[in-house]
Amino acid sequence: MGIRGYLILKLKEQADSNRLWDLKNLYESIEGVEYASNVIGPYDFVVSLDLPFSNKKLTIERVLEKIKQTKTCDKILSLKINNVFVKHQELKDLKILNELQQTVK
């Protein structure tokens, strides 16, 4: 796991179900995009990003620029996951695994 984040996309125009599938596939073809989901509400897509630490050139800003180049979005919000909470969850998971391991011995 590397840097995680989300992009929330508002499309320029309404899309039928076939177009939504095409957009999902288009967004998911962009390097760094883990998945794209069509959502109901004021925005149309949530795009999950997973950017490995090993690829320093791949940033949220670069993925954002690639999505802008598709010229499909009217508005894009960018959200980066706070790594403090990710590390906290990883430590909790390790503690639980350690406790499970001790009870098996």
Domains of the chain: total: 1
Question: Which neighbouring-strand residues pair with 73?
Answer: 11
How long, in residues, is the chain?
105
Domain CATH code at residue 57: 3.30.70.920
Burial (Cβ within 10 Å: 0-12, 13-18, ≥19) of residue 101:
exposed
**Residue 42 in 3-state DSSP?**
coil
Q: How many CB atoms lie within 10 A of CB 31?
A: 11
Domain that holds residue 37: 3-104
Backbone angles phi, psi at 28, to 5 degrees: -70, -15
This prediction has a pTM of 0.75
Q: What is the pLDDT of residues 44-82, one digit of tens each?
A: 999 999 888 778 888 888 999 999 999 999 999 988 776
Q: What is the pLDDT of residue 2?
A: 74
